């Protein structure tokens, strides 16, 4: 069969993810499916960077779907089906709302695809796809093949790696607890090392939801990749600041950037959001420890919790400066359809009626907050970005100076830092 695997466009040029204008996060999940498709002709299209081929000549179309891409995907599905292709949807949205997706596609995968993809291919060849393919158990990470990176159109200098899946936390705003793959699992260290060693790129990003959920595993992995002399970035919880041994292992292994989920400086907001493992009084110490190891900190903050008032924006800006982070991504609380928080807001009559699915990308207010209007929420996040912009722009000179000799070895990274730093983040922009 001829198979087309598609990641629809989700990146918003000119929006809040300004550093991603020069960084490409390729869809590893589609590369994994391609690796499981022996004997078939496979093409991968990442619509953020490539044109999506028409459905003509393809027997099977597989599309990964999120809430904010679902409208666009349904349009694509109609076009593909007109051309005679069978369409199967997978990813977060079909796993949470499979029946909705079945109104548009021939079939859906609920959960992870590794253990059902062979059945999908067999049935597609016979012309009889089942409506739903559901894995009976979470994927053992040691069963995940290396993605077919040659099909991913990766840049020459940057790529992504995954060592673990899932997360043991149950943050109220997160969609992960509503998916079948929330269980935390780890790939054998030697397999992760083998994949990283095979990369031609010198810089990569761990796309794991929470690699640090098993502290001993993280340390073993970091020690094992030291000889590979790679540089990498990662998402991390605030609790890593309590473990100097872990931080030393990260730095020695080549970590240059941590995206830290601070989420809020308001203890009541952290409690409301079930992020009580965060300790506001420890934020500054974490930042200092990472800076001592020449690691750049990107802070993640979220607004719109029921405990957030109109003063949350100015307070966050001032405290972000006090703890001395290097950059920040500011998110608007976004309830995904099918999750408990969405259902709660729906019961309370707080969901906005005129929202489009494209607005569920964490930069629009799609509900009425408790202590402000939804317009105030969006304007407040934009104002916070505008107030932080000169601080981060001025600070970039120090960031580069402290790491100048290392950055000279990675000129593309310098271009990313400078290019992202001079762009202003814009809230409320939708993809075309």
pLDDT value, residue 421? 87
Out of 3.40.630.40, 3.40.640.10, 3.40.1180.10, 3.40.50.280, the CATH code matching 2-134 is 3.40.50.280
As given in the structure block, the two tokens for residue 150 are: 């040659």
Euclidean distance between CA atoms 242 and 110, whole angstroms = 37
Residue 23's SS3 state is coil
For residue 260, how many other CB atoms are within 10 A of its CB? 25
pLDDT value, residue 432? 63
pLDDT value, residue 185? 98
- Which residues of the chain are modeled with pLDDT < 70? 431-432
Q: Where are the beta strands (DSSP E) in 111-217?
A: 132-134, 158-161, 164-165, 185-186, 203-206
Q: How far is CA 284 from CA 61, 213, 262, in A?
A: 48, 22, 11
Q: Specify the long-range contacts of residues 125-128, CB closer than 8 Å, at least 24 apart.
A: 125/1
pLDDT value, residue 226? 98
pLDDT digits (tens, 9 = 90+) for 270-328: 999 999 899 999 999 999 999 999 999 999 999 999 999 999 999 999 999 999 999 99
For residue 370, how many other CB atoms are within 10 A of its CB? 14
First to last CA, the chain: 32
As given in the structure block, the two tokens for residue 333 are: 């609380």
Q: Where does 88-181 have alpha helices with state H?
A: 92-96, 98-102, 117-126
Q: pTM value? A: 0.95
- Any idea which residue has 């959920």 for tokens? 213
**How would you classify residue 405: left for phi > 0, otherwise alpha for psi between -120 and 50, otherwise beta?**
alpha
Give the CA angle between residues 111, 97, 75 to the nearest 5°: 105
Residue 235's SS3 state is strand
Q: Where are the beta strands (DSSP E) in 49-105?
A: 60-64, 86-90
pLDDT value, residue 14? 74
pLDDT value, residue 18? 82
Q: Are 273 and 170 a contacting pair, CB within 8 Å?
A: no
pLDDT value, residue 19? 81
pLDDT value, residue 413? 92
Burial class (CB in 10 A: 0-12, 13-18, 19+), 318: exposed
Q: Are strands 164-165 and 185-186 parallel, antiparallel or unpaired?
A: antiparallel
Specify the CATH architecture of the domain 155-421: Alpha-Beta Horseshoe (3.80)
The domain ranges of the chain are 2-134, 155-421
Residue 204's SS3 state is strand
Which are the contacts of 125, defined by CB distance < 8 A and separation ≥ 6?
1
Euclidean distance between CA atoms 312 and 384, whole angstroms = 9
Alpha-carbon 175 to chain mean position = 12
Euclidean distance between CA atoms 167 and 208, whole angstroms = 9
Q: Are 316 and 310 a contacting pair, CB within 8 Å?
A: no
């Amino acid at each position: 069969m001829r198979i087309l695997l598609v990641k629809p466009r989700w990146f918003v040029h000119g929006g809040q993810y300004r550093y991603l204008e020069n960084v490409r996060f390729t869809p590893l999940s589609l590369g994994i499916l391609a690796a499981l498709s022996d004997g078939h002709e496979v093409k991968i299209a990442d619509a953020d960077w490539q044109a999506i081929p028409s459905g003509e000549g393809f027997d099977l179309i597989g599309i990964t779907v999120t809430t904010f891409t679902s409208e666009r995907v349904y349009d694509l599905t109609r076009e593909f089906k007109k051309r005679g292709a069978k369409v199967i949807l997978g990813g977060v949205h079909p796993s949470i709302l499979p029946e909705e997706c079945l109104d548009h596609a021939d079939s859906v995968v609920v959960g992870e695809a590794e253990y059902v993809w062979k059945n999908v291919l067999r049935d597609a060849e016979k012309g009889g796809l089942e409506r739903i393919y559901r894995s009976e158990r979470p994927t053992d990470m040691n069963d995940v093949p290396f993605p077919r990176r040659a099909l991913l159109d990766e840049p020459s200098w940057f790529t992504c790696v995954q060592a673990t899946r899932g997360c043991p936390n149950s943050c109220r705003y997160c969609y992960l607890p509503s998916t079948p793959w929330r269980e935390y699992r780890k790939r054998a260290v030697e397999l992760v090392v083998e994949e990283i060693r095979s990369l031609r790129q010198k810089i990569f990003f761990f796309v794991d939801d929470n690699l640090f959920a098993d502290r001993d595993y993280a340390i073993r992995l970091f020690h094992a990749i030291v000889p590979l002399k790679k540089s990498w970035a990662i998402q991390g919880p605030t609790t890593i600041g309590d473990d100097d041994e872990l931080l030393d292992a990260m730095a020695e292994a080549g970590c240059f950037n941590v995206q830290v989920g601070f989420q809020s400086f308001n203890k009541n907001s952290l409690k409301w959001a079930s992020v009580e493992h965060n300790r506001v009084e420890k934020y500054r110490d974490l930042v200092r420890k990472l800076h001592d190891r020449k690691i750049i900190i990107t802070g993640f903050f979220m607004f719109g919790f029921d405990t957030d008032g109109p003063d949350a924006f100015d307070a966050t800006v001032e405290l972000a400066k006090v703890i001395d982070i290097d950059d920040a991504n500011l998110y608007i609380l976004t309830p995904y359809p099918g999750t408990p928080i969405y259902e709660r807001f729906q019961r309370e009559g707080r969901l906005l009626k005129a929202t489009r699915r494209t607005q569920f990308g964490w930069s629009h207010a799609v509900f009425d907050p408790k202590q402000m209007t939804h317009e105030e929420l969006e304007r407040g996040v934009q104002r916070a970005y505008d107030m932080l912009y000169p601080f981060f722009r001025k600070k970039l000179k120090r960031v580069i100076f402290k790491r100048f000799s290392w950055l000279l070895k990675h000129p593309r990274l310098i271009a990313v830092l400078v290019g992202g730093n001079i762009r202003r983040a814009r809230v409320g922009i939708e993809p075309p």
